[in-house]
Amino acid sequence: MEDDLLALDTRRRLYAVVHQSPGLGSREIQRRTGMAWGETTYHLDRLVTAGLVHREQGGHQDFYFASTVPLGDRTLLRLARSEASRRILSALLAASELTVPELQERTGMSPGRLSIHLRRFLETGLLATGRRERFRTFTIVDRDRVVRLLIAYRASFADGWVDRLLETWSEVFRP
């Protein structure tokens, strides 16, 4: 059945994009493949029905993952598709525990925007909180897992945040 579904060039192209860049929204998949909207959604639905691809709803769009991506990884990758979230992850990986004012300084984001992204990370269990003086602090729960996923899917992120982060990470934690 899988061979029959992927025999069609359209579905092979869609599947390749989803496999290489898990967590993309349907509009970004459409853009990367150059297909029409109806064609994209039709064939994505066929891949989902066949179990080759998972669809997760998040906010106002759907996100797609190859079926081989574990649930916990899907959550992190879906969030990491946002440039703002990657900037927060980068800051927290570079300095293990930061307050909102420190995150503001390192990411250039407003407190309101930070709050939205931090809440999403907290809801999924990717971040933990603590206290330093009168400030709430944020830290990544499983730093090694976050780095492993960012390395594995490095090429699928369109900006330089992940590259700069991984360069810093490798310099700090050289064996």
pLDDT < 70 regions, the chain: 1-3, 158-175
Of 163, 159, 152, the C-alpha closest to 77 is: 152
The reply to whether CATH 1.10.10.10 applies to domain 2-68 is yes
Question: CATH says 76-172 is which class?
Answer: mainly alpha
Identical fold, 2-68 and 76-172 = yes
Q: What's the confidence (pLDDT) of residue 51?
A: 95
What Cα–Cα distance (Å) separates residue 47 from each residue in 16, 20, 26, 29, 81?
12, 15, 13, 13, 21
Q: What's the confidence (pLDDT) of residue 1?
A: 53
Q: What's the confidence (pLDDT) of residue 22?
A: 92
Domain boundaries, the chain: 2-68, 76-172
Cβ contacts of 43 within 8 Å, gap of 6 or more: 8, 10, 11, 14, 35
- Spatial separation of the C-alpha atoms in residues 67 and 3, rounded to whole Å: 15
